[in-house]
Amino acid sequence: MLAVAGLEKPECDGLMVSSYSLAPDTAVSLAETFDISLNWIEQVQLGGASGIVGVRRAARAVAAGDADVIACVGGDTFMPDQFAGLLGRFSSFTIDGSTPYGCGGASVPFALLTRAYMEAYDATREDFGRLCILQRKNAQAYQQALLRESLTMQAYLSARLVSEPLGLFDCVMPCAGAEGVLVMQEGRAQALGIPYVRLLASAERHNASRGMAMPLTFGWRDFREDLYQAAKLRPEQMDIVQVYDDYPVMALLQLEELGFCQAGQASRYLTEASFMPHGRVVHLNTSGGQLSAGQAGFAGGFMGLTEAVRQLTDKALGNQLSEVKNALISGFGMINYNRGLCATAAIIERAEL
């Protein structure tokens, strides 16, 4: 990142890190590892919400003058023999309340949620399948994706079952990787002559569904009006939307809660080729999402953000879109017991150079 931006290491005076597998090290361990002195540091451990929440914090720090250039990085790696142990001991509620039922990891809670969504809204497996097929098409030009071969509905439906109704292609593939962005004042980016985007608005909400036995909303609808007002944009004006897709049901729920359509209706606007709410194409998970690229732990919470930044600076690693001016990115994270607790979203726009 520093090389692309033409910055020397000492010019980066802020660091925001998200990583599950960094332990026992912490963000400040990395300051010593990288041999840098910092004016500002933050470690955001919010799973799939980490990227947006971290950039939101970094933007406020830069605006307040606490730091000039903040590197925001999410990265993880997992040893296969440690994976079960790490996921099964994610929280004390997990240890006592869910792991004993054979469900270390997120597939069981999301299988239960998927079935509840199907019952509530009369959805079918095909509704989720269309999303997976659409995203896989987007991944074909994205060299970094682990799964790039085209997916058919028959292959989706007949894939090995993991936790019903979830099959193999409903579950992200764990992998190693990292994503990151630099956050700085606009004038600094202009002086450096590097392509950049503007952060127009962002929001976060945690434990929004407390008190609900089987929630089908997780917090985005609580802040969406404020988010769109701050950005001076409406959902029907968004060119790109990158939703957090650890499981297909979450992608649909985010599109609904963020106001692209009514609750339970997202799949009606979704074909194997496009997402078209409001009679207009919105480019969805343009690099294929985690369902195609794999989930590199907390870096998965940065993927929608970095892909949107690349698209809006004409630096996409594949599948570059034209005529796109803005993007909405959303994140979701932390199954502490039976539901994800952290919902977040941001709106960014292209800077006209």
In angstroms, the CA 145 to CA 68 distance is 33
- The full length of the chain comes to 353
CB of 165 to other proteins, least distance (A): 8
Please check whether residue 253 is in contact with residue 217, taking contact to mean a CB–CB distance below 8 angstroms: yes
Q: Which is nearer to other proteins, 141 or 337 (CB)?
A: 337
Q: Which is nearer to other proteins, 118 or 263 (CB)?
A: 118
Angle of CA points 93, 99, 104, to nearest 5°? 115
CB of 111 to other proteins, least distance (A): 4
Q: Which is nearer to other proteins, 104 or 219 (CB)?
A: 104
CB of 332 to other proteins, least distance (A): 18
CB of 330 to other proteins, least distance (A): 24
CB of 249 to other proteins, least distance (A): 12
CB of 300 to other proteins, least distance (A): 18
Q: Where does this chain bind other proteins (CB under 8 A)?
A: 83-85, 87-88, 92-93, 95-105, 107-108, 111-113, 115-116, 119, 160-166, 213-214, 337-338
Q: Which is nearer to other proteins, 3 or 213 (CB)?
A: 213
Q: Which is nearer to other proteins, 102 or 193 (CB)?
A: 102
In whole angstroms, how far apart are CA 335 and each of 69, 207, 213, 307? 32, 10, 15, 24
CB of 210 to other proteins, least distance (A): 9
Closest CA to 189 of 309, 75, 302: 309
Closest CA to 21 of 332, 291, 299, 292: 299
Closest CA to 204 of 184, 232, 227: 227
Q: Which is nearer to other proteins, 64 or 213 (CB)?
A: 213
Q: Which is nearer to other proteins, 89 or 325 (CB)?
A: 89
